[in-house]
Structures are given as C-alpha cells and as structure tokens.
Amino acid sequence: MRAVALYGTLGSLVLSALVAAPAGSADPATAEARGVEAAAQRAAAAPVSFGRCPEAESLPPSVQCATVDVPLDYARPTGPQIALTVSRSKATGKPAERQGALVYNPGGPGASSMFFPMVAAMPEWKRLAGAYDLVGYSPRGVARSAPLSCQDPAEFAKAPTQSPPDPSASFKRERIAQAKAYAEGCARNAKDALRFYTSINNARDLDVLRAALGERKLTFMGASYGTYFGAVYATLFPSHIRRMVFDSAVDPDPDQIWYRSNLEQSLAFERRWEDFRIWVAKHDDVYHLGRSADDVLESYEKVRDRVTREPAGGTVGPAQLQASFLKAGYYDDYWASRATALSQYLKGNPKPLVQQASPRPQSAREDENGNAVYTAVECNDAAWPRDFATWDRDNTALARVAPFETWDNVWMNLPCAYWPIPQQRPVDVRAAKGALPPTLILAAERDAATPYPGALELQRRLPGSVLITEKKAGTHGLAGGANACVNGYLEDYLLNGRTPVRRAACAPHPEPNPVSLDERAAGRPRHVPYAL
C-alpha cells in the first residue's frame, strides 16, 4: 500500500493534468505543469543534504535522513511548501558499480517507506543494495511530512467494535453518521489544503524528489497503490523514467478508480479467505479446526459469535477479529499464527488471539494518520456514488457471495460519499508506443488486494511493459520475498535492464509450514510470520 530534468514532455503533462482537473473548475493545467518544472529545477539546484536521522524515525545509524520541499499547490510553486521526509542507505558496492538511487513506495495511500533502506541488510536485497542507494520517503500528509489527521486517534482506535456480516438498517444509519463526521473532520483539520492530497500530486512530488536526489532519470519501485501513482507518473513524465517496477498492480482504468476497484477487491478477498481455510483444513492434525474449508469457516464463526458476546481480553470484538484475519488475505506468512490463535481460543486460551488482534495504543496516531491520508487521496481522486442507496444495493448483492470483507470495505470508504470538496476525474493512464523504456510488472495470480486483472490492464496501457506472474499464489507484494524466480527477474531488470520479451511465469513459492503446538512446546523451530 509507494527532476536537472528533461522537460520534453510538457505537452503530455498538460494533457494529463487537464484530465485530472476537478469538473467545473477553471483549468489549472498550464500553471501546474509550469509549477512542477519550477519546483524540480529548484530542487535540482539545491540537492538534498543527508545527515543523521531524527530519533522519531527509529532508524539505525546506517540510514541517513533529509527533507525535500514540494509545493502544496503546484499552481503556486513558490507558495506554501510541504517538507517530505526522506531516508537513504548508500550503495555498498564499488563506486563503478553504482547505478543511482532506487526510490520505493509501499502503497497505501498513506504508507511510509522510511524503513526501506533497512532492507539493505537482508540477503534478498544484497545485490541491489550494492548497486543502488536505497531511498524511502513519507509522501505528503504521511508521518512527519505535514501529517494529516481527520479524527482523534484515541477515538479511531476505540475497541471493541462490531462488524456484522448482514448489517441492520440501524447499524447502517450509525455508520453513515460516522462517515459524515469523519469527512467533516478531514475538512475541519486540513482546511483549504485538503484538496491537494491526490495521486497526481504524489506523482508530481516524486519528480521533485528525483531532481533533489540529483537523478536525471528516475528508478522507482512502487507496490500496491504505489503502482497506481507510479503509472500516473509514467503518463505525466515518460521521458523521466530510467527503470520502473510495478509490484502488485492496481487496475489503472479510470472507470475502476476507486469505487469499482473496492468492489473487485472485496470479491477477491473472498477467494483468498477460502485459500486460507483450505490450507488450515489440510493441516487439521495441527489445528483441529476442521477437515474442510466449510468446517474451518464454522470454527471461525464460533469465535466471532463468542467475541461478539464477550470481547476477548476486553478489546477484541468482531471488527478487530476480522481486521486481524484480513491480514491472512494479504500474506500467507500470517496463516500459521492466525490458525493457531483460532485453535487456542477454542481450547480456552485467548492469549494468542488477544495478542494478534488487539489494537495497539502506541500506534493509534500512526494508524489514524495513515487512514486519513488514504481517505483524502481516494476521495479526492475520483467521483464516488453520493447516495448511500447505490452503495447499499451494490454491496448487499456482493455480500451474498463475498461476505468476509464486503461491508468492512464499505465502512472504510464511505466518507467518500459525503466528501465536502469537489472530486477529480482520474488520470487516463497510458503511454504511446516507444515513449517509455521497458518497465516491469510483478503480480500474483490470486492477489486479493490488487486482483490480477489489474496487472493485465496496466500492461495493456503501458506498451513495452513486461509482466512476471507468480502462478497459483496470492501474496501481496512480491519483490524481495519468498519466490527466488520472481526475485531473479527483478534483479536482472534493475541491475542489467534485461526483461523477458513480454511475459513470464514463476511457480508459486512454498506454502507456509504449519508447526504443531506440541512441537513448539518441545522447543523445536517455529514458523515466524512477517510482513513488510
């Protein structure tokens, strides 16, 4: 969920900015195009100066930090500025082997990649860390980059809360009121700045960051939402790209942004939820949750019913339970720990479930900030249905076949139905044949967060792009992960610029290794889930 420049693409920039202008507004495209050019030239003239990271970033001494100023409003490039926080680990190889900066965004919207330089210590990233400065940053509104907030973090983290799979009319009215209040909170806190949190501005910021890093052309890797504004960047600045990786691609079709993409996502999570339950059933000798996917679902529903009546640890209600198990839809590294938590809870030990699903007060501010930026960007980017009747009709039908995530996805995005400022028309992502260097798309066939058809659509819109597919797998975010085949294609592209002709496939990475509780008690090695 992340520009001294060539400016031979001003016409493309103006055209794309026109597409993204709010309906009914005066055309700001020419001013914004000039603003990007001016901001990038200013950044290139005063390159970023890295030094010790502030304690607030909690980064090791091997990582350096800096800030890069970008205009709040590109139509007024000398007006108010946002200081983006940036992190870097310098390339560890010989000077002759250095290929510049590799900038990474993990998605969101609302996620920071300040942690990214730390992957230099991981074996999967060793060769890339030798050739590139690894650069992370917090996009506008995120963390210390002029943080956006829409709600008191303590209220945002309040638990336990409900998550009925078939919500009543009164529950829907309650959530509508909460969505309206949240949208009003965004407008009240951000004031006139709220309209500037958009994907197109994230792409413009990326070009200013490129210039500040002293890079004539950008080498960028975006995951999840990072692929979307990376694709917007490719539309606006095709001649500024050196190499670009789209890891777990969002469908960039303007008709999908963002209401329909969330419907597709809910359906895909249902398939991935079934994948998890099939795996648990295969290991019934370990978890004792049932010998079929339906049996495992029955075990899960028993737990959900119990925490509805009596929240686990006083904080884990059905909404917290669902959010915890949603992570198993993103990453199969969570499968063993989540299955263990269910198994233990049904045996009378709620501690693993409480540990995994309880809100963490220490992260409430960060979580609320991420959600605020997510909401602002997605609500600003595109028109959403303004009447709840449309949401109700579409999602009631969808929940009949995909109950696991559908309504929770609605509640997360519903503030966009009551958004208090004009919404944009999405950028029509595309590039002319030959306008881009080869770009690389990584996709898992059963990814739920960014369903696989989105990767096919992105490849269609970016001629010359190459798609690497992990077959029969669903982990979200493949780069540097468990699939050596995928990592091989990634390294060959970033280190040597080589790609297959058009498409290639990799066999799935191994399934998670279940470890019985008896083995754990005996002190044998255990599977430890992780997620970037």
Residue numbers annotated as active site: 224, 447, 476
Residue 110 has phi, psi (to 5 degrees) of 115, 5
Distance CA 77, CA 436 (A): 27
Q: Which two tokens stand for residue 218?
A: 């950008």
In degrees rounded to 5, what are phi and psi of residue 514?
Answer: -70, 145
Residue showing tokens 């009121």: 177
* Radius of gyration of the CA atoms of the chain, in A: 23
CB-facing half-sphere around the CA of 330: CA atoms within 13 A: 15
Element (H, E) at 466: strand 466-470
Query: Could you tell me if 218 and 103 are in contact, meaning their C-beta atoms sit under 8 angstroms apart?
Result: yes
Contact between residue 129 and residue 104 where contact means Cβ atoms under 8 Å apart = no
Amino acid (one-letter) located at 520: R
Q: H/E element holding 83?
A: strand 81-89
Whether residue 105 contacts residue 250, with contact meaning beta carbons closer than 8 Å, is answered with no
From CA 361, how far away is CA 358, in angstroms rounded? Answer: 9
Contacts of 45 (CB under 8 A, 6+ apart): none
Task: Show the DSSP H helices in 331-461 as ranges.
Answer: 335-346, 351-357, 364-381, 388-399, 406-413, 453-461
Q: Which residue has the tokens 């679902």?
A: 297
Q: Which secondary structure element, helix H or strand E, spans residue 189, and what is its range? A: helix 169-190
* Beta strands 440-444; 466-470: pairing state: parallel
